[in-house]
Amino acid sequence: MTRVCFVGNSHLACIKMGWDTTADQYSELKVSFFGAPANGLTWMRPANGGYLVSENDILTANLMALWGTDRFRPDDYDVLCLVGMGMLISVVGHLYRDYRSSVHRNRHGTFRLLSPDCFQAAANGLVAKTRSARLFRQIRVVSQRPVVFAAQPARRPIVPDRYKPSAELKRTLASGDDSALHDVFANAIQQLSANVYFLPQPEETRLNLFFSKAEYSKGSRQLESTFSEHENDETNHMNSAYGALVVRDLHLMLSRNGVIAKLPARTAIAENTI
């Protein structure tokens, strides 16, 4: 049995809800969760015994209410999947507003043209500054377990029924630059370290690279002890249907890489085939 721990911020709630509705489909997985809302996990620190432990009273209270513990030990799992914490495609999208590489076909507007290597290096730096990457570096102090970064979902449109892509987004999509940006984003994650992998947002949940379909946001839950429902105007968080698809895609990724079995310590997943 493969032991997976999903670790993250408020976006962890949809994964937990999705797992709860589909767990009986994955008898070869043993799944655990650990996380806290907002920036809480930035207060986790390495400790004796290979643990990451809370060093903040508010974080400790949140973790105790959610999971009954203020610490977790990465080596207790075969694979860690980091969820949310700022690891979303718009990190690279912001770079694209002011800079393009020579492979980008959309040349409308004012921007500086960079070489592909320079554009990738800039994206690498932005990805490395995310909360998810910072937590990853803390994990690497105590463990070399494989880590999968699940893309934080893109937000849904504020008024879904009236949504139309902006003129600039239309040009980005028409030129194919969205695919190029997605590749840069994936490469930046995989260049964080060895034994790191990228799990994209499930394809069927996306309107386009920067927006999610409204049906996967309705009924989203908060990451707190009762997992209460968000208000109807919530745009950034997804629901259990979305979470179930992330679990499905992670299971598929692990299956393709031969990881549906207990891993020896420090054994790497085979090359990512997503």
pLDDT tens digits for range 132-163? 999 999 999 999 999 999 999 999 998 777 77
Query: Tokens in use for 192?
Result: 């964080």
Tokens 């008898």 locate to 27
216 vs 167 pLDDT, higher one: 216
Q: How many CA within 13 A on the CB side of residue 38? A: 6
122 vs 271 pLDDT, higher one: 122
> C-alpha distances in angstroms, 224 versus 4, 13, 16, 32, 45?
21, 8, 11, 16, 22
Name residues whose C-beta falls within 8 Å of residue 274's C-beta, 6 or more positions apart in sequence: 197, 198, 199, 200, 249, 253, 256
**Residue 233: CB atoms within 10 Å:** 6
**Could you tell me what percent of the chain has a pLDDT over 70?**
93
Please write the tens of the pLDDT for every residue from 201-260: 999 999 998 999 999 999 999 999 999 999 878 999 999 999 999 999 999 999 887 654
* Average pLDDT rounded to a whole number, residues 97-105: 94
Phi, psi dihedral angles at 210 (to 5 degrees): -115, 0
The mean predicted confidence, pLDDT, of the chain is 91
93 vs 264 pLDDT, higher one: 93
* Average pLDDT rounded to a whole number, residues 110-130: 97
Residues 32, 7 contacting (CB under 8 angstroms): no
The 10 Å CB-count burial string (b at 16+, else e) for 211-220 is: bbbbebbbbb
Of the pLDDT bands very low, low, confident and very high (cuts 50, 70, 90), residue 128 is very high
> In this model, does residue 66 exceed pLDDT 70?
yes
- For the domain bounded by 2-256, which CATH number is listed? 3.40.50
